[in-house]
Amino acid sequence: MQSEQLKPIVEAALLAASQPLSVAQLGDLFGEGDEVDREDIARALESLVDDCAGRGVELIEVASGFRYQVRRDVHPWVAKMWTEKPSRYSRALLETLALIAYRQPITRPEIEQIRGVVVSSNIVKTLEEREWIRIVGYRDVPGKPALFGTTRTFLDYFNLKSLDELPPLAEIRDMEDPQLGFDQTPLPPRVIKDLPIDPEATAAALAAPANPLAIESEPDTVATAPDDAATTEPEPPVAETATAAPDAVTDGDAPNP
């Protein structure tokens, strides 16, 4: 099949698909009589990428394959076509997601130890419902805590082909993005001293690759009990607001003496 015939077929398939398409999936569209191989499809994709120069859409490759999407520089105008407000993600959720992305596989108690606060069950549930994280195994320690890792859907959402494309932490520690709107209340000194990485910096790293995320502050509960206590305390129902235990305080308050 000639390139002039192949390109419009590949383009139409990508526009009609609701998800990214890989080279193998595009190859399934053609039979033996079409005489189309992977190299032909790859060349057609490269040509389609070049054709997007100066247009309002772009063809990009993510973890699941190739897809067309609106360019960032025209997104503010195109977004006015939809009346619903974009999803708002809390600082706590993004910090938790950032730690999973950069430290995976990681357990919930390990996340709580780094952040210095108890991880809400609602946060884990939201990340799993969005299919951004999944259980990849279990730590071989008493209690067998679940190990969390990111998914291919996570990579697709943040326009990444692999985890290797995550921004190095050294490059984003000083990043200042007014759209993030993080709560500037510092963590207690005892938490800051023991942090091996900066949760705010890792959260900013995740917000940078994809479309800007609007974030609202969400109070957490500071863990004052031992590490293993956080995993054994009963979790609040998903639809209800968790009440802080007597030996815990919320972010921004001074710990009980």
Of the candidates 111, 89, 112, 93, the one whose C-alpha atom is nearest the C-alpha of residue 102 is 111
Q: What is the pLDDT of residue 102?
A: 93
Instruction: Give the mean pLDDT of 112-136.
Output: 93
pLDDT level of residue 153 (50, 70, 90 thresholds): very high
Burial (CB count <10 Å: 0-12, 13-18, 19+), residue 98: buried
Instruction: Give the mean pLDDT of 146-160.
Output: 93
Q: What is the pTM of this model?
A: 0.59
Q: What is the pLDDT of residue 5?
A: 87
SS3 248: coil
Q: What is the pLDDT of residue 86?
A: 72
Is residue 103 pLDDT above 50, yes or no?
yes
Render pLDDT for 37-79 as a digit per residue (tens, 0 to 9).
999 999 999 999 999 999 999 999 999 999 999 998 998 898 8
Task: Provide the CATH number for the domain around residue 68.
Answer: 1.10.10.10
Whether residues 235 and 152 share a domain: the answer is: yes
Is residue 253 pLDDT above 60, yes or no?
no
Range of the domain at 61: 3-80
What radius of gyration do the chain's Cα atoms show? 22
Q: What is the pLDDT of residue 79?
A: 86
Mean of all residue pLDDT scores within the chain:
75
Contact 87, 212 (CB under 8 A): no
Is residue 97 pLDDT above 90, yes or no?
yes
Whether residues 37 and 142 share a domain: the answer is: no
Render pLDDT for 218-231 as a digit per residue (tens, 0 to 9).
444 334 334 443 43
Query: Which domain-ending residue is among 60, 80, 100?
Result: 80
Instruction: Give the mean pLDDT of 232-243.
Output: 41
Query: Which domain-ending residue is among 80, 102, 121?
Result: 80
Q: What is the pLDDT of residue 173?
A: 56
Instruction: Give the mean pLDDT of 24-45.
Output: 91
C-alpha span between 114 and 193 (Å, rounded): 10
Give the residues across from 58 on adjacent strands: 69
Q: Which one is predicted more confidently, 2 or 172? A: 2
The answer to whether residue 257 sits within a structural domain is no
Query: Which domain-ending residue is among 49, 80, 111?
Result: 80
Whether residues 76 and 162 share a domain: the answer is: no
